[in-house]
Amino acid sequence: MKKNDFGKENFARALKKLEQFLAEPIRSEREQAGIIQAFEFCFETTWKTLQKRAHAEKLAIASPKKAFEFALQAGFINPSEEGLWVQMLEDRNLTTHTYEETLAKAIADRVPMYFKLMSDLIGKI
Give tens-digit pLDDT for 112-122.
999 999 999 99
Assess whether pLDDT exceeds 70 at residue 3.
Answer: no
Give dist(CA 67, CA 33) in Å, integer: 26
Q: What is the pLDDT of residues 65-116, one digit of tens each?
A: 999 999 999 999 999 999 999 999 999 999 876 678 889 899 999 999 999 9
Instruction: Give all domains of the chain, ordered by start, each with its CATH number.
Output: 8-122 (1.20.120.330)
pLDDT at 1: 44
Contact between 95 and 39 (Cβ < 8 Å) = yes
- Please, how many CA atoms are within 13 Å of residue 46, restricted to the half-sphere of its CB? 33
In total, the chain counts a number of residues equal to 125
pLDDT at 100: 84
Give dist(CA 69, CA 10) in Å, integer: 21
Give dist(CA 93, CA 12) in Å, integer: 22
Does pTM top 0.85 for this prediction? Answer: yes
